[in-house]
Amino acid sequence: MRRPWYQSFLAFGFASLTVGCASTGAVPQPFPRPGAGPSWAPPRTAGTAPGDGYTIAGMALSLRGAPYRDGGADPSGFDCSGFITYVFGQHGIAIPRTVTLQFAAGESVQRDELRAGDLVFFSTTAPGPSHVGMLIGGDEFVHAPSTRGEVRVERLQSTYWAQRFIGARRLVR
């Protein structure tokens, strides 16, 4: 027995839609997002959010090798502040998008009191904060620099970064 024409049409349409989704290049996100709470709950904001800096830094480290993209804020490409915004967002913590606003968020941290998850800021292109990374522990931080074009780990005490360090902020307790 033959199927009515509309059943074949519906089957073809459904198959076309599922194939199209696979080719979009979209990166699936976990549902629900870790730490986001119920979908009706407002996002936590930086400075008031409980959190584990090591867990957040671990998430940042998992993105090593992601490409640099000016204005990027997802794993298909990050700029420095987009990288930080994305990582905190994956933990349900809303933070400002720009380096300047991130530098004003949370609480100031002295260099000798830094811990994993703290943001470290540098003056690279102009006076004031123009680059941000995240401390992962000890003397190392992870960031999305435009040079060599990928998320990577570097040392705060390296000649380049030590000369440009201007401060640090803590966004989680």
Choice among 44, 91, 143, 152 that is catalytic: 143
Structural domains in the chain (count): 1
pLDDT of amino acid 148? 82
Choice among 56, 59, 80, 93 that is catalytic: 80
Quick check: is 118 in a domain? yes
Distance CA 151, CA 84 (A): 11
Quick check: is 37 in a domain? no
- Burial tier of 171 (Cβ tally within 10 Å: 0-12, 13-18, 19+): buried
For helices 80-89 and 53-61, the axis angle rounded to 10 degrees is 120
- Percent of the residues in the chain that have a pLDDT greater than 70, as a whole number: 71
Quick check: is 15 in a domain? no
pLDDT of amino acid 111? 93
131 is annotated as an active-site residue: yes
pLDDT of amino acid 95? 96
Quick check: is 14 in a domain? no
Query: In 36-171, which residue ranges form alpha helices assigned H by DSSP?
Result: 53-61, 80-89, 99-104, 159-164
Cβ 92 vs Cβ 172: under 8 Å: no
Quick check: is 55 in a domain? yes
| Low-confidence residues in the chain, pLDDT < 70 | 1-50
Choice among 131, 152, 169, 170 that is catalytic: 131
User: Would you state the structure tokens that stand for residue 128, as one six-digit string?
Assistant: 């004031």
CATH of the domain at 77: 3.90.1720.10
Quick check: is 31 in a domain? no
pLDDT of amino acid 151? 98
143 closest CA partner among 173, 165, 172: 165
Q: Which residues pair with 172 in a beta bridge?
A: 49
pLDDT of amino acid 3? 52
Quick check: is 77 in a domain? yes
Quick check: is 161 in a domain? yes
173 closest CA partner among 93, 87, 61: 93
Domain that holds residue 144: 44-170
